Amino acid sequence: MMDVRHFIGQTLTAEVDRPLGSHHPQHAFLYPLNYGFIPGTLAPDGDALDCYILGVFEPLAVFTGTCIAVLHRRDDDDDKLVLAPAGREFSDGQILALTEFQEQWFDTVVLREK
């Protein structure tokens, strides 16, 4: 398993391929937040690292913000980064609630330390 916690605290730019209000291409759920990936990274699944973008309430194409946490899936090898606008914080409970639309299918924990 690749450890992506070194991204915590970094300013990252994400490309948003599933903007707020869009539907998942294979499953029926709606994205209640912006979801994208970090170009130039590589996750264990062979794609770029995915990320949730919290604290922005309009559909985006690109977002630059701070990585405030990692969602570690204990039963999957596809951890997700959590990005937020600079200076914006969310509790672990808020992060899990906001990402539940997708994370409910996994055994997910919030990691905050590098």
Pick the CATH number of 5-111 from 3.90.80.10, 3.20.20.150, 3.20.20.70, 3.40.1190.20: 3.90.80.10
CA distance 102 to 95: 12
**pLDDT single digits (tens) 62-96:** 999 999 999 999 998 889 999 999 999 999 999 99
Q: What is the pLDDT of residues 87-108, one digit of tens each?
A: 999 999 999 999 999 999 999 9
> How many CB atoms neighbour CB 88 within 10 A?
13
Reference 72, options 36, 108, 22; nearest CA is: 108
Q: What is the pTM of this model?
A: 0.94
